[in-house]
Amino acid sequence: MRPEDVADVVATSLAADTVFADSGVVLPPDDPRELVGHADRILVAGEPVRGLAATVTVDGHTHLEQLAVHPDHGRRGLGSALLEAVCAEAAGRGDRVVTLTTFRDLPWNGPWYARRGFAPLAREDWGPGLERVWAAEGRAGIRVLPRVVMVRPLD
């Protein structure tokens, strides 16, 4: 992401959230500028930006904080390409896994990631960083539907 992409990243993130509302899922208000401020890296797709993948480091590994595609540009492979780019970069840095949290049952969340090599990570296998992420999601009120921590091994 370039500094001049911030406005498009924010707009894309907010637009992507409308998919949840359109499906009857009420999420707490979100300010994507907070994500921009704390992410280790944000990969973008499109000119102007139509998709983004924001990552942070959790327990010494890449953690996908957010993957968002503008709904007007969905179902064209942007999300998959961004996800693969995140995993390739993480592997290139020597990470053994990528983790994320997501809604377990929404078709474009848990099942979508499962088709791309992610599997649920048992709670006893979480590190202290994932515990903190989970607790922060609880405080933020994001668990309006069942959520899951998932992991993808990197070969």
Handedness of CA 106, 123, 54, 14 (dihedral sign): positive
Q: Which two tokens stand for residue 55?
A: 């990552």
Sign of the alpha-carbon dihedral angle for 104, 146, 74, 151: negative
When the pLDDT of each residue in the chain is averaged and rounded to a whole number, the result is 94
Q: How far apart are the C-alpha atoms of 45 and 51, rounded to whole Å?
A: 5
Beta strands 61-69 and 119-120, pairing class = unpaired
66: left (phi > 0), else alpha (psi -120 to 50), else beta? Answer: beta
Least confident of 30-34, 66-70, 84-88: 30-34
Q: Is the pLDDT of residue 74 over 90?
A: no
pLDDT above 90 (res 22): no
Report the pLDDT value the prediction gives residue 40, as an integer from 0 to 100.
96
Residues 6 or more apart whose CB falls under 8 angstroms from that of 28 comprise 140, 141, 142
The pLDDT tens digits of the residues spanning 3-13 come to: 899 999 999 99
State the pLDDT at residue 73. Answer: 83
Q: Which amino acid is at 53?
A: A
Mean pLDDT of all residues in 57-69: 97
Give the model's confidence band at 121: pLDDT under 50 very low, under 70 low, under 90 confident, else very high: very high
